[in-house]
């Protein structure tokens, strides 16, 4: 006997195919933002082609053609990503398979493959975006997938009914989702993502600074971090958020100095005046610095203060983190400094910027404070301009800026000031970070954007330690007091974010960012520490895996019982005739004659006549009216008479004596 061919299962109903094509489109479409254009066009063409075949009732393509498309598409993906493994290549393959599967769609089993692939493909969207719009799109797509599953097994039915039933099934899973989200042990790391892709697409301050570096960054309105103060907020002129410190200069680019010089110094901070406690929610930037308010006194666990007062972590920040700090804007730092750091803060490359060196040499006879005042007076006195579009500089960059172009951004002024200080014999260095921030009145968080990126200078004076000096404030004081938009000259194009002059636009942005912040804090930011805080508020001060597992089991069992009870006792409304007949049968059941689910009205009436002859005529009359309403041309009079039959039955059975 020949080998038995496996049963492919029941054929797919014709009306179900548009649903499946819509599922494929909904799960593929958001990936078009990062897929190669050729793959997006191929997927769209395949889905459109399958719809054309369905509409014209044409034959599906031959299997050899599908094999060629699979091989060709896979080869194209391998050439595009140079691999068939990993996040991007793997998602591209899933998209290719989802677009090709409808081309061999014949049975319900094929349809189930598309649906299961669709559910899995939904998860991959979180590899690229964890935003609220992404979540809403995926929720709608999951509802569509479930409604399609209902349509596949429930047969033709109105669109609204399938969608309502799909949404109802997802709603029943909501309690379990919330319980698992709150209690299931959290894993440190991004909610979604692969380790090798965790820091893709991140932006922010660099570990080096050259003319134009910050002016490019300032064009971005992306949020760098958010801060929530425990009490009062510092004045805007005090909001200097310290990042990397640059003390090595090669004539064009500033970099961090050698580690050996920094290793010998321990920070010695004498704080005075007010202290500010705050929690910072720092976006991933793939660097080790934490951007604390200058100058931090207490740091988060696993962070340390470097010899140049940078708040550093052991590993680069590759996910959003919440960090608690205490800072004091008024301080004296390292009044006694190591000789290695001071020498590093005086070093200049030879044979560059001779005119700047000559000017600084004239100031060497002055005390350090007067030298700094002389440089700031130069910026105030001469025609210097603050601009996002400074001209390009040559090999003697400081000379060209100070004596020729005189147009620059904050990194130009900080670099020129530090160069003059070093040439005059005053230890100095460049500090990069952010300055200012905008208070969101909706949630009370101070929002610091990439556009707030800034650079300033520090000089060391014996007996006073390191002092912050912001040369930009000498040229454009409005930059410090009111932000970038107020500092730029009239007529210069503003970054897109700074053009929100209308109050209603600013209010809309504040509301959206407050909602987005809540999403980040309580959903994406629900890390192990946040979970401990929530459980402590619920009375579990020191939860361990045993107590959490027990509570998880109890709450899931309770939720399952509630959903089960609601499902079992929920009755469809039915029509008036059916409700009247059910009422009649329930009353007869209390009198001792219960109708079986399979019994029709005539059979039930005959059994009533045999078992309870006194109710036989009434049961026969009620059955006739119900049969007329359900199977004949019943009238409103039949419905009224059926209701009257039910009313004539006593509410409970009294035992005859």
Q: Which long-range contacts (CB under 8 A, 24 or more apart) does 215-219 make?
A: 215/388, 215/389, 215/390, 215/409, 215/411, 217/450, 217/451, 217/453, 218/388, 218/409, 218/450, 218/451, 218/452, 218/453, 218/484, 218/495, 219/388, 219/451, 219/495, 219/496
Residue 84: DSSP 8-state: S
Phi, psi of 508 (to 5 degrees): -65, -45
Distance from C-alpha of 600 to C-alpha of 214, rounded to nearest angstrom: 83
Which position among 31, 88, 247, 410 bears the catalytic label? 410
Distance CA 165, CA 143 (A): 9
Identify the three-state secondary structure at position 395. Answer: coil
How many Å separate Cα 316 from the centre of its chain? 19
Q: Is 585 a catalytic residue?
A: no
CA dist 558 → 341, 444, 564, 646 (Å) = 64, 38, 10, 38
Distance of CA 212 to the CA centre of its chain: 30
Q: Copy the structure tokens of residue 305.
A: 């203060």
Whether 556 is catalytic is no
Question: CA 78 to CA 280: how far, in whole Å?
Answer: 42
The helix or strand, by DSSP H or E, that contains position 272, with its residue range, turns out to be strand 269-272
The residue annotated as part of the active site, out of 31, 125, 454, 625, is: 454
Strands annotated E in 314-452? 321-327, 330-333, 385-386, 407-408, 428-435, 438-439, 446-449
| The pair of three-digit structure tokens given for residue 258, joined into one six-digit string | 């050698």
H-assigned helices in 101-218: 108-124, 132-154, 159-183, 213-217
Rg, C-alpha atoms of the chain: 37
Asked if 296 and 355 touch (Cβ cutoff 8 Å), the reply is no
In the set 247, 399, 443, 470, the catalytic residue is: 470
Bridge partners (DSSP) of residue 107 are 11
Task: Using alpha carbons, list the distances in angstroms from residue 308 to 1, 206, 260, 261, 269.
Answer: 85, 17, 13, 10, 11
- Residue 362 is encoded by which pair of tokens? 């004239």
- Concerning whether 407 is annotated as a catalytic residue, the answer is no
Helix axes 368-381, 410-423, angle to 10 degrees: 140
Residues with a catalytic annotation lie at 410, 454, 470
């Amino acid at each position: 006997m020949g080998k038995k061919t496996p049963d492919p299962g029941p054929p797919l109903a014709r009306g179900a195919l548009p649903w499946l094509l819509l599922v494929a489109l909904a799960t593929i479409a958001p990936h078009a933002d990062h897929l190669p254009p050729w793959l997006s066009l191929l997927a769209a063409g395949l889905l459109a082609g399958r719809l054309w075949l369905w509409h014209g009732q044409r034959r599906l393509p031959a299997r050899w053609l599908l094999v060629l498309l699979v091989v060709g598409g896979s080869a194209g993906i391998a050439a595009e990503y140079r691999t068939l493994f990993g996040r991007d290549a793997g998602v591209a393959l899933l998209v290719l398979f989802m677009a090709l599967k409808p081309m061999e769609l014949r049975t319900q089993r094929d349809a189930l493959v598309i649906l299961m692939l669709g559910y899995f493909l939904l998860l991959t969207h979180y590899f690229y975006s964890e935003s609220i719009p992404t979540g809403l799109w995926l929720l709608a797509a999951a509802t569509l997938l479930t409604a399609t599953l209902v349509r596949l097994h429930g047969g033709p039915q109105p669109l609204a009914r399938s969608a309502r039933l799909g949404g109802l099934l997802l709603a029943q899973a909501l309690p379990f989702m919330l319980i698992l989200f709150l209690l299931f042990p959290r894993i440190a790391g991004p909610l979604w993502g692969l380790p090798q892709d965790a820091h893709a697409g991140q932006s922010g301050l660099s570990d080096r600074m050259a003319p134009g570096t910050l002016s490019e960054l300032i064009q971005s309105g992306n949020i760098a971090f958010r801060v929530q103060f425990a009490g009062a907020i510092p004045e805007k002129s005090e909001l200097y958020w310290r990042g990397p410190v640059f003390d090595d200069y090669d004539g064009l680019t500033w970099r961090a100095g050698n580690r050996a010089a920094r290793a010998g110094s321990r920070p010695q901070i004498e704080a005075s005046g007010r202290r500010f406690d705050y929690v910072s929610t720092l976006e991933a930037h793939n660097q080790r610095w934490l951007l604390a308010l200058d100058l931090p006194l207490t740091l988060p666990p696993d962070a340390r203060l470097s010899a140049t007062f940078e708040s550093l972590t052991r590993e680069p920040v590759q996910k959003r983190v919440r960090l608690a700090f205490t800072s004091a804007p008024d301080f004296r730092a390292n009044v006694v400094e190591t000789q290695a750091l001071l020498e590093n803060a005086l070093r200049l490359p030879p044979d560059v910027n001779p005119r700047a060196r000559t000017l600084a040499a004239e100031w060497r006879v002055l005390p350090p404070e007067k030298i700094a005042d002389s440089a700031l007076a130069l910026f105030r006195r001469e025609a210097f301009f603050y601009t996002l579009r400074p001209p390009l500089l040559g090999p003697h960059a400081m000379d060209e800026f100070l004596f020729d172009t005189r147009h620059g951004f904050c990194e130009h002024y900080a670099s020129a000031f530090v160069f003059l200080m070093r040439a005059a014999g005053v230890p100095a260095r460049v500090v990069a970070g952010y300055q200012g921030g905008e208070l969101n009145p909706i949630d009370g968080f101070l929002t610091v954007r990439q556009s707030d990126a800034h650079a300033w200078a520090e000089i060391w004076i014996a007996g006073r330690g390191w002092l912050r000096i912001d040369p930009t404030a000498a040229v454009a004081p409005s930059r410090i007091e009111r932000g970038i938009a107020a500092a730029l000259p009239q007529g210069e194009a503003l970054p897109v974010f700074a053009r929100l002059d209308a109050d209603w636009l600013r209010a809309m942005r504040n509301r959206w960012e407050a909602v987005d912040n809540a999403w980040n804090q309580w959903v994406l930011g629900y890390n192990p520490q946040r979970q401990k805080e929530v459980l402590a508020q619920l009375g579990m001060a020191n939860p361990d895996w045993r107590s959490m597992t027990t509570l998880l089991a109890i709450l899931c069992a309770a939720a399952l019982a509630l959903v089960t009870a609601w499902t079992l006792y929920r009755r469809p409304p039915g029509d008036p005739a059916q409700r009247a007949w059910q009422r009649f049968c329930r009353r007869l059941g209390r009198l001792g004659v219960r109708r079986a689910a399979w019994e029709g009205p005539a059979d039930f009436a005959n059994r009533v006549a045999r078992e309870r002859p006194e109710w036989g005529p009434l049961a026969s009359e009620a059955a006739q009216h119900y049969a007329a309403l359900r199977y004949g041309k019943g009238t409103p009079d039949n419905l009224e008479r059926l209701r009257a039959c039910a009313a004539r039955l006593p509410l409970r059975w009294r035992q005859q004596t």
